[in-house]
């Protein structure tokens, strides 16, 4: 890239979808491909940043030039992000993280139970990684969260995004419209980017690389503001 406006910055990006193991051969997962997070990592690298990519089960090729850390479950992602976030200029949480995991992982493949037609799996809450970072002191580290929402009404979608930004303590929040055929795994994406005052900074429907560029423009503008303070 020609534009090196992220030179000297260290940026941590999470991408992909977590998998929560049930037994040695099964997991609970989601349809995140990693396309959006990888596009952010690639764009940040092209703009001169030093990028740590925390990659959960990517369905796309690894980007070049990034410090790549592979993880699978939410707990592994939490450990990797917590370590990488120390001293980073920005953390961008594009990964789709499971809110729950199986209460226990079976050492053997779970067998069909002869006694009935159903099977109940008990789940326990995963830590909210973004909220953990957002509610701890994070001076000098800009936190960019996402909110993947299926709400069809635009006003309600924004309300959900604003509530999520506050609940998680993110400085910037990307409200991402998702559904059976949008957001997850698609090549295009529809987002509204909210700043720290809940104002709409950008509204965009475009390719995932173009959405990545818009998110990084907001990151750069926030860096400029902190430098002026």
Residue 125: is it exposed, middle or buried by C-beta count within 10 angstroms (0-12/13-18/19+)? Answer: exposed
Select the residue interacting with ligand PMT from 147, 194, 201, 218 (CB under 6 A).
Answer: 147
- By CB under 6 A, the count of residues binding ligand PMT is 29
Select the residue interacting with ligand PMT from 9, 19, 32, 194 (CB under 6 A).
Answer: 32
Query: Token pair for residue 18?
Result: 């977590």
Consult the annotation and say whether 128 binds a ligand. Answer: yes
What letters, b where the CB count within 10 A reaches 16 and e where it falls short, cover 163-180? ebbeebbbbbbbbbbbee
CB 190 within 8 A of CB 205: yes
- Residue 30 bears catalytic tag: yes
Question: Which of the ranges 92-100, 101-109, 111-119, 213-221 carries the binding residues for ligand PMT, by CB under 6 A?
Answer: 92-100
Q: How far apart are CA 174 and CA 115, in angstroms?
A: 47
Q: How far apart are CA 70 and CA 52, in angstroms?
A: 11
Whichever of 6 and 39 has its CB closer to ligand PMT, that residue is 39
Consult the annotation and say whether 184 binds a ligand. Answer: no
146 binds ligand PMT (CB under 6 A): yes
Q: How far apart are CA 111 and CA 152, in angstroms?
A: 40
73 binds ligand PMT (CB under 6 A): no
96 binds ligand PMT (CB under 6 A): yes
13 binds ligand PMT (CB under 6 A): no
Q: How far apart are CA 22 and CA 68, in angstroms?
A: 26
Select the residue interacting with ligand PMT from 74, 91, 157, 201 (CB under 6 A).
Answer: 74
CB 219 within 8 A of CB 49: no
Q: Which of 3, 30, 57, 176 is the catalytic position?
A: 30
Closest of 202, 194, 221, 228 to residue 5, by C-alpha: 221
Select the residue interacting with ligand PMT from 36, 52, 72, 141 (CB under 6 A).
Answer: 36
40 binds ligand PMT (CB under 6 A): no
Consult the annotation and say whether 208 binds a ligand. Answer: no
Consult the annotation and say whether 109 binds a ligand. Answer: yes
CB 97 within 8 A of CB 80: no
Consult the annotation and say whether 129 binds a ligand. Answer: yes
Select the residue interacting with ligand PMT from 20, 126, 165, 212 (CB under 6 A).
Answer: 126
Annotated binding site for CTP: 99, 109, 127-130, 146, 164, 168
Catalytic residue ranges: 30
């Amino acid at each position: 890239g020609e534009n090196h406006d992220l030179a000297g910055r260290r940026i941590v990006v999470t991408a992909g979808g977590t998998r929560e193991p049930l037994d040695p051969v099964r997991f609970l997962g989601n349809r995140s491909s990693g396309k959006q997070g990888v596009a952010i990592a690639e764009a940040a690298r092209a703009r001169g940043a030093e990028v740590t990519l925390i990659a959960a089960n990517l369905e796309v090729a690894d980007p070049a030039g990034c410090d790549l850390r592979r993880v699978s479950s939410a707990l592994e992602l939490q450990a990797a992000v917590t370590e990488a976030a120390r001293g980073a200029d920005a953390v961008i949480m594009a990964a789709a993280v499971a809110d729950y995991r199986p209460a226990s992982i079976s050492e053997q493949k779970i067998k069909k139970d002869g006694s009935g037609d159903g099977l109940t799996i008990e789940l326990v809450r995963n830590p909210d990684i973004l909220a953990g970072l957002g509610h701890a002191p994070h001076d000098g580290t800009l936190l960019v969260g996402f909110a993947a929402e299926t709400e069809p009404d635009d006003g309600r979608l924004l309300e959900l995004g604003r509530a999520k930004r506050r609940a998680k303590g993110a400085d910037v929040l990307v409200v991402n419209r998702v559904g059976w055929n949008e957001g997850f795994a698609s090549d295009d994406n529809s987002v509204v980017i909210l700043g720290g005052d809940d104002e709409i900074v950008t509204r965009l429907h475009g390719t995932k690389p173009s959405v990545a560029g818009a998110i990084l423009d907001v990151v750069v503008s926030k860096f400029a503001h902190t430098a002026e303070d």
